[in-house]
Amino acid sequence: MNKTSRVFLISCAILSGILIIALFRLQVIKGGHYKRVAESNFVRIRRLTATRGEIYDQKYRPIVQNIPSHNLYLTSGKIQNIPALARFLSLHFDITVQEVTEMVLKQRFRTYEEILVVDNVPFEKMLSVSEHLNYFPELTFRIGSTRDYLHPNHFTGYVGRINEREYERYEEEDYSINSYIGKTGLERYYEVLLRGKDGREVVQVDAQGRSLGLFQEGGYIEPLNGLSLVLTIDNELQDFASRAFPAGIKGTVVVSDVSSGGILAYVSKPEYDPNLFMQRITPEIWNDLNSEDKPLMDRVIHATYPPGSVFKPITAGLGLQKQIINRHTRLSSCIGGFQVGNRFFRCWDHSGHGTSNVIEALMESCDVFFYDLSLKLRLEDFKAYVLASHLGTKTGIDLPNERQGFFPDAAWYRKTFGRNVGIIGHKVNLSIGQGEVLTTPLQMNAYYAAIANNGTWIQPHLLKQTVGRARLTRQQVERIQIKQLPFSQSDLKVIQDGLYAVCNGAKGTARSVQVPKAETFGKTGSAENFMGKKTHAWFCGYIVTDKPEIAVTVFMENAGGGSAMAAPVARQIFDFYMGNIEDIKRPAVLPPQFRSAEELTQDRSETLQQDIDSEPEPEPMQDSNEEVQSD
Amino acid sequence: MKKFSLINHKKFDFVLLGLLVALIAVGFVAIFTASTTVISDQVITASHWWKQIIFAGIAGLAIALLLRLPMPIFDILILPAFVLNLLALILVLFTPAVSGSHRWFSIGNVNFQPSESAKLLTILMVARYISKENLSEYRQILYGFGIMIVPVILIMIEPDFGTTLVFWASLMAMFIAAEVPLFFILLMVSPVISLVASLHWLGIIVWIAILIFLLMRARLSWVAITVACIINTFIALITPVFWMGLKDYQQNRILTFLDPTRDPLGAGYQIIQSKIAIGSGSLTGKGWLMGTQKNMNFLPEHHTDFIFSVIGEEFGFVGSIFIVLLFFAFFARLIHSVIQLKVRERKVATAGIMAYLMFQTFINIGMNIGLVPATGIPLPFISYGGSNLLINTISVAVILKYLNERGFIK
């Protein structure tokens, strides 16, 4: 018994003794040292923000870049005098006392973490404020980075500081409360790729928060920088399209590459400057951004409009598919209009077109041909065909919140207008792209590109590939959807011939749209609408050299006639494209900053090898008398 | 006077109870300051403090109930309780993982950790079986390991390696108390010591020398001594080679396995902070509620695993020594209890309980000082935590009960 208890007692005493000695060393012998460490130096885990990926056009020209910014931070654990701090901040930065107290209260369980008080402080202001910071050890300026939108547009979107709701929703994703997060456009759609992953380091900092270097025993987790996006956009074509669009008119221009589905230009007017969102927005600026013209709205995918006559190829296609008409079929004569029941549906040309076949009807955009055709079509077939043509449904472009457009069916009519609604009159309107049908300019562009592409519909997309830590093609990031439009080869040819006639026939509504060295195909449209007195102007078309090149859609809200207003803009774009076709189509060389170390050394060693091969051989060196030291 | 029949005034150990209460009271003080943040003139206290008081109240109730429980019923309940606990250990493996391990049942606001209660119940079970009359040492060792291996494996799966070590320490203590010859204990412990000694070539030599000396004193045959030394030397030599042969991520895996709460920034950021906090307390500390490191929340766990660092910072060397000596007095009293108890099973159980409390205490304080790598072991009676406080208190209550019942058995 005693032996047992002796064992226990001795072990207990030894262990206690070890602890006491260690504590003595720690607190008495090294007490002063640790006191200094604790008081004047702080050890802290600093988040290493990953660099956000940038955005380039297909030739690696920058569209969105990171630039340095000066941000003011507050460490609440070091506040000496809250009222003085609040006065200082309200004096220099327009921050109310209440906002300051709220900030401090929110951080009370993490008092060593820095709160972002003001971001993107202009340089001069930063200098003048810095002079006073001696009195406020809790405030520090840090260099961060902010976004510079070099070419304002509607597809990149913009970033902003993360708000509370987003912070909670993405809790798992390791955002700090000061993180940037994409709010709209590509910045938001590809947020995960662009953001990368923040790292961590353990640093020893002084009372001013200045780093004294890594703690020797501390650790380091490297930040993973975000991937940069290389888009299908061509900056020069984008700029040109934006300038070619007439001032004072709201609308869009979409230019896509037929063979790949990549978007070359994406314009929505009126435009806004995303750089405004990088700083505090004054009420005046906010009012401008939300004016009646709605400059913030992306009209390419967030607005739907009646397509008008550019919808006619769909009606024609259905007629051909159902073999109600063929290339030569002539339907009822157009006398400036067409009688259906007790209603006279007018053609746009009141003098009438006489009888036409489908090609002529497309060329002159005769409404009556299509009215007559619609009487022979069933609404269900129409709806099914529209969906098969990938209209009335989202294209799936890599941007958030795309609208899907609309095409009605019998059930919808019954619900909206009552059970005894007459469908026929509605069908007549639908056949020429009026009535309840709604499309986005992007959907129309994708459809016409598919006609150009032998009936193969390719999902429109903006991302070509990523560069940086990983090089991924768009296909690797997200599969590009491809499907076939419901055309047989011969029927497709009929439609293409019709579109050719529009631009090249004697009576073609877009015969002015001609470009040297290429064949033009297209369709004009002037859509009646509820938004104003004038019609919406549409032009959808494409050009073909030895193969299809680009598809262009120009859309103008309430601007008048498609052939008068929209077609000329499209022509300018075709001209520009053909004039610069070599530059535009030349494959871009990957700039050195994106190449990996191995690739660069490989390049260099190849050039070096060439140099060596061309040099005469040097003489062998004499043996040196130096001793080689061993370790 | 029937009311106080649960306490036998002559036998009840008031000193032990007093030390227990003192420790819990120290816990209140420490948790209060750990939960309090001071920003210039604002003082904010979180809810941990009064929650610990409630836990202590429940623990007090548990002590009273246990003392009231008739001894025969207590004896009968041990086996079914142990089996139920094993079932709980199996079930907990199927709960959703919390920071990489399956340790807790969460029902509403209440958390229950089956590995905690497993400690006490396994000790009681092992104590019973190795204390039977006329068992050979081999049988004792066999039963001891046999009973313990089941919960230990289940706990290791969770994973929770820290608790596994605690079991092991208890087992050794129980063997000692059950009068298993010391050299057996030595042989069982030696591989682990060899592993640790392999850190330094000098350590290996010194350790093997000590081993030989002790085994000779135990009068083992030369054959046995040689075999033991060869095995141990082999382990000591092979460990560093094996460790170096592992890739970084494999080493990381093992280290993380040994402690899942390991600081991902490596090299114990928490330990650094703890040392700074304790060291800067110097001789007399910064004063109650005035700890700057605690205030700035550099240590995320300072009301649980790192509560000692708060005491060290605010009360200095004086305070730290006070705590160590208080624990020493507590353990000395427990050792005294081991001597006092005559019934073998109870003596052994008490040794086991004492060992596991000692182990937790020294590991935790050692971790706070930086002598021991970060593990997830809290400081008994002082760290915030209901499960831990409850089980530890009940364990001491069992010992109090044993002491209370002295003389009632033939």
What's the Cα-to-Cα distance from B182 to each of A434, B124, B173, B178, rounded to whole Å? 99, 22, 11, 10
Lowest mean pLDDT segment, chosen from A262-266, A622-626, B37-41, B117-121: A622-626
Q: Find chain B residues with C-beta within 8 A of A31's C-beta.
A: 279-283, 316-317
Nearest CA in chain B to A41: B276
A75 to chain B nearest CA, in Å? 10
**A21 touching chain B per CB within 8 A:** no
Q: Find chain A residues with C-beta within 8 A of B283's C-beta.
A: 27-28, 31
Q: Tell me which residue of A330, A338, A332 sits closest to A360, measured CA to CA.
A: A330
In this structure, the number of other CB atoms found within 10 A of the CB of residue B109 comes to 5
**A297 touching chain B per CB within 8 A:** no
pLDDT score, position B255: 66
A228 to chain B nearest CA, in Å? 28
Task: List, for residues B306-328, the tens digit of each pLDDT value.
Answer: 889 888 888 889 999 999 999 99
Average pLDDT over chain B reads: 78
Mean pLDDT, range B168-194, rounded to an integer:
78
Q: Find chain B residues with C-beta within 8 A of A200's C-beta.
A: 265
Which of B248, B335, B354, B357 has the highest number of chain A CBs within 10 A, making it the mutation to test binding with A?
Answer: B335
Most confident segment among A121-125, A171-175, A296-300, B282-286: A296-300
Q: Find chain B residues with C-beta within 8 A of A215's C-beta.
A: 272
Buried b (16+ CB within 10 A) or exposed e, A563-601: bebbbbbbbbbbbbbbeebeebeeeeeeeeeebeeeeee
> Quick one: pLDDT band at residue B344, thresholds 50, 70, 90?
confident
Rounded distance between C-alpha atoms, residue B69 and residue A48, angstroms: 59
pLDDT score, position A626: 44
Lowest mean pLDDT segment, chosen from A285-289, B150-154, B290-294: B290-294
Cross-chain Cβ contact B267/A218 below 8 Å: yes
> Quick one: pLDDT band at residue A600, thresholds 50, 70, 90?
low
Q: What are phi and psi of B313, to 5 degrees?
A: -70, -40
Rounded distance between C-alpha atoms, residue B351 and residue B339, angstroms: 10
3-state secondary structure of A554: strand
**B327 touching chain A per CB within 8 A:** yes
Q: Find chain A residues with C-beta within 8 A of B268's C-beta.
A: 217
- Cβ atoms B127, B352 nearer than 8 A: yes
Residue A200, H or E segment: strand A199-206
Q: Tell me which residue of B338, B329, B335 sits closest to B406, measured CA to CA.
A: B338
Nearest CA in chain A to B276: A34
Mean pLDDT, range A1-18, rounded to an integer:
82
- Cβ atoms A40, B370 nearer than 8 A: no
DSSP symbols for A245-312:
SPTT--EEEEEEETTT-BEEEEEEES---GGGGGSPPPHHHHHHHTSTT-TT--TTTS--B--GGGGH
Mean pLDDT, range B5-10, rounded to an integer:
60
Cross-chain Cβ contact A4/B338 below 8 Å: yes
- Cβ atoms A576, A237 nearer than 8 A: yes
**Percent of chain A topping pLDDT 70:** 88
Q: What are phi and psi of B353, to 5 degrees?
A: -65, -45
Cross-chain Cβ contact A34/B282 below 8 Å: yes
pLDDT score, position B146: 81
Which of A3, A11, A12, A82 has the highest number of chain B CBs within 10 A, making it the mutation to test binding with B?
Answer: A12
**B266 touching chain A per CB within 8 A:** yes
Cross-chain Cβ contact B279/A33 below 8 Å: yes
For residue A631, pLDDT beyond 50: no
DSSP symbols for A14-74:
HHHHHHHHHHIIIIIISHHHHHHHHHHEEEEEEEEPPPPP-EE-TTS-EEEEEEEEEEEEE
Token duo for residue A486? 């419901």
Chain A, 188 to 207: residues with Cβ < 8 Å from chain B are 200, 202
For residue A630, pLDDT beyond 50: no
Task: List, for residues A178-211, the tens digit of each pLDDT value.
Answer: 788 999 999 999 999 999 888 887 766 655 555 5
What's the Cα-to-Cα distance from A414 to each of A317, A422, A426, rounded to whole Å? 26, 9, 12
> Quick one: pLDDT band at residue B409, thresholds 50, 70, 90?
low
B17 to chain A nearest CA, in Å? 20
> Which among A12, A37, A112 is the nearest to B276, CB-wise?
A37
Most confident segment among A87-101, A408-422, B107-121, B264-278: A408-422
Q: What are phi and psi of B10, to 5 degrees?
A: -80, -30
pLDDT score, position A301: 94
Q: Tell me which residue of A21, A17, A23, A10 sits closest to B332, measured CA to CA.
A: A10
**A13 touching chain B per CB within 8 A:** yes
Average pLDDT over chain A reads: 85
**B319 touching chain A per CB within 8 A:** no
pLDDT score, position A625: 47
A384 to chain B nearest CA, in Å? 47
- Cβ atoms A444, A435 nearer than 8 A: no
Q: Find chain A residues with C-beta within 8 A of B317's C-beta.
A: 23-24, 27-28, 31
A399 to chain B nearest CA, in Å? 35
Which of B37, B42, B272, B308 has the highest number of chain A CBs within 10 A, making it the mutation to test binding with A?
Answer: B272
Task: List, for residues A207-238, the tens digit of each pLDDT value.
Answer: 555 556 655 555 677 888 999 999 999 999 99
A457 to chain B nearest CA, in Å? 46
Q: Find chain A residues with C-beta within 8 A of B297's C-beta.
A: 77, 109-112
Its ipTM equals 0.82
In chain A the first and final C-alpha atoms are separated, in Å, by 59
Token duo for residue A436? 């309840």
**A47 touching chain B per CB within 8 A:** no
Task: List, for residues B50-91, the tens digit of each pLDDT value.
Answer: 888 888 888 888 888 888 888 888 888 888 888 888 888 888
Rounded distance between C-alpha atoms, residue A21 and residue B369, angstroms: 11
Lowest mean pLDDT segment, chosen from A25-29, A62-66, A90-94, A506-510: A90-94
Nearest CA in chain B to A111: B296
Bridging pattern class, strands A463-467 and A228-231:
antiparallel
> Which among B272, B283, B298 is the nearest to A215, CB-wise?
B272
Which of B170, B269, B324 has the highest number of chain A CBs within 10 A, making it the mutation to test binding with A?
Answer: B269
pLDDT score, position A258: 94
Cross-chain Cβ contact A26/B278 below 8 Å: yes
**A16 touching chain B per CB within 8 A:** yes
> Quick one: pLDDT band at residue A311, thresholds 50, 70, 90?
very high
Lowest mean pLDDT segment, chosen from A202-206, A240-244, B266-270, B376-380: B266-270
pLDDT score, position A624: 45
pLDDT score, position A113: 63
pLDDT score, position A198: 87
Task: List, for residues A462-506, the tens digit of each pLDDT value.
Answer: 999 998 888 888 888 889 999 999 989 999 999 999 999 999 988
Nearest 5°: the CA angle B342, B345, B346 is 60
Q: Tell me which residue of A325, A323, A343, A346 sits closest to A334, measured CA to CA.
A: A346
- Cβ atoms B103, B115 nearer than 8 A: yes
Residue A237 is given by DSSP the state: H
Q: Tell me which residue of B98, B193, B104 sits closest to B155, measured CA to CA.
A: B104
Mean pLDDT, range A521-531, rounded to an integer:
91
Q: Find chain A residues with C-beta within 8 A of B298's C-beta.
A: 42-44, 112
pLDDT score, position B347: 86
Task: List, for residues B345-357, the tens digit of each pLDDT value.
Answer: 888 888 889 988 9
Which of A7, A26, A104, A107 has the highest number of chain B CBs within 10 A, making it the mutation to test binding with B?
Answer: A26
Amino acid at A182: G
Task: List, for residues A349-358, the tens digit of each pLDDT value.
Answer: 888 888 888 8
> Quick one: pLDDT band at residue B267, thresholds 50, 70, 90?
very low
Cross-chain Cβ contact B269/A45 below 8 Å: yes
Q: Tell me which residue of A263, A268, A265, A360 sits closest to A305, measured CA to CA.
A: A268
> Quick one: pLDDT band at residue A41, thresholds 50, 70, 90?
low
Cross-chain Cβ contact A18/B325 below 8 Å: no
Nearest CA in chain A to B325: A16
Task: List, for residues A414-442, the tens digit of each pLDDT value.
Answer: 888 887 777 888 888 999 999 899 999 99
**Percent of chain A topping pLDDT 90:** 40
B5 to chain A nearest CA, in Å? 31
For residue B287, pLDDT beyond 80: no
Neighbour-count burial of B328, counting CB atoms closer than 10 A to its CB (0-12 exposed, 13-18 middle, 19+ buried): buried
Q: Which residue has the higher pLDDT, A323 or A112?
A: A323
- Cβ atoms A78, A138 nearer than 8 A: yes
Cross-chain Cβ contact A12/B339 below 8 Å: no
**B34 touching chain A per CB within 8 A:** no
Chain B, 218 to 247: residues with Cβ < 8 Å from chain A are none
pLDDT score, position A629: 41
B6 to chain A nearest CA, in Å? 28
Chain A, 219 to 248: residues with Cβ < 8 Å from chain B are 219-221
* Whether the predicted model's global pTM rises above the 0.80 cut: no
Q: Find chain A residues with C-beta within 8 A of B174's C-beta.
A: none
> Quick one: pLDDT band at residue B39, thresholds 50, 70, 90?
low
pLDDT score, position B229: 80
